[in-house]
Amino acid sequence: MITLLTTFNAKDEASARELAGLLAALGQTVPSEPGNRSYEVLASVANPLVFYIRDSWDSQLAIDKHLRLLTRRGDLDKVAGLLSEPLTAARLTAL
């Protein structure tokens, strides 16, 4: 299993509201994608412009398919336009 933590920094409050809607919508659809084990959208308590997705996948192949789907639908471009900096994704492991 592969777990990722992706960080999104919105460029302003209006972008944060739109980003929250886009990420919430993904939270409804991504869990049904093949290979997805968990998908959680989180908002920072300290900074209302910062959001996180913590998701787990069966394999790198499943992640790659997910990213191709997001690219094909234009979701990544929509999100990128709302960010103050490129999103970052960290690959995590249990201790």
What is the per-residue pLDDT across 37-62, written as a single tens digit (0 to 9) for each?
999 999 999 999 999 999 999 999 99
> Can you give the residue ranges of every domain in the chain?
2-92
Which neighbouring-strand residues pair with 39? 55
CATH topology of domain 2-92: Alpha-Beta Plaits (3.30.70)
Burial label, 46 (beta-carbon count in 10 A; 0-12, 13-18, 19+): exposed
What pLDDT was estimated at residue 20?
96
pTM for the whole structure: 0.90
The pLDDT confidence band at residue 32, using thresholds 50, 70 and 90, is: very high
